[in-house]
Amino acid sequence: MCGIGGILYKPASGQRTESVGSQLVNMLDAMAHRGRDSTGVTVSGEDTDCDFIVRIWSDPSIDYKSGFKLAEDRVSSNGGRIVEHKEVNEYLRLGIEFKGEISILARELMSISGIEIHSIGRSSEVVKDVGTGTDLEHRHQVSNLNGTHGIGHVRMATESRVDITHAHPFWAYPFPDITVVHNGQITNYHRMKREYVDMGHRFQTENDSELIAVYLADRLSQGASLQESLKDSQNDLDGTFTYLVSTENGLGVAKDQWAAKPLVLIETEQLVALASEEVALRSIFPGEFERTDPQESEVMTWAI
């Protein structure tokens, strides 16, 4: 059992009293009973002064200065420049100016021993760790991250191991700004993963949820719309699933034909918020609201 949540502010939403990061943490904390192994968020639509935000996890054996120097050398050797950097526990958060092909930059950074990329985005970043939402906030100050939309996940591990890299959200290497959180199990994961590996795609984990991110990124890169990609996934993915996807410009949700994994949402003129349980929505909207329950094989998308 896992829990997922998401929020998107519409273009005319006006002033907000809380950051997207803060609201996601509150929602996930309200669902901590659904999974305490790990927690993570994607915050999208951030204002940045660089071309890409890169979030890197480094093995504890690599000290910050060494990790940064290795990353800096790879970026500069490919015509880029690191314009800002920060260490957060075992993370490096890099702001990079880079005009080349992002797959080249991703490949160069991933070739560094002991380095794993958790996200690359023009205006988004993934923050995840073992523990609860409270733990995530304490270690990473997620409430300082603000944007237009985001998704989050609390995990009770059933298949792959418990560590930072196997926590959700999953970023679709090497496509910027495409991340997924998922509740369920993809039963044709191994076959589809082999097919994508043969096509040249790279996977960073053994978690079946990563397949959804790669699948959607591949469809979007071929010119499909987000709505079309989500609908196609319902035919191509086997198993039980309710998942949320965050892109540079919006948010989407897809449910399987049985709708076995719960999801509730509220939508107003200002925003849309979704979660596995109503208690998560009430953690940020304590007043009265009208909830909707997406049904079997339903697909919904929203744009900023």
Contacts of 191 (CB under 8 A, 6+ apart): none
Q: Are 148 and 178 in contact (CB under 8 A)?
A: no
Q: CA-CA distance, 179 to 176, in Å (whole number)?
A: 9
Contacts of 257 (CB under 8 A, 6+ apart): 234, 296, 297
- The DSSP bridge partners found for residue 292 are 265
Q: CA-CA distance, 25 to 239, in Å (whole number)?
A: 28
Q: Are 166 and 118 in contact (CB under 8 A)?
A: no
Q: Are 241 and 183 in contact (CB under 8 A)?
A: yes
Q: Where does residue 184 fall: left (phi above 0), alpha (psi -120 to 50 degrees), or beta otherwise? A: left
What is the residue type of 63?
D
Question: Which single residue is written with the structure tokens 């800096």?
Answer: 72
- The DSSP bridge partners found for residue 95 are 53, 84
Q: What is the DSSP letter of 144?
A: G
Q: What angle do CA 116, 192, 155 make, to 5 degrees?
A: 50
Q: Active site includes 2?
A: yes
Q: Active site residue: 2, 130, 192, 211, which one? A: 2
In what helix (H) or strand (E) does residue 255 lie, and over which residues does it extend?
strand 250-255
Catalytic residues: 2
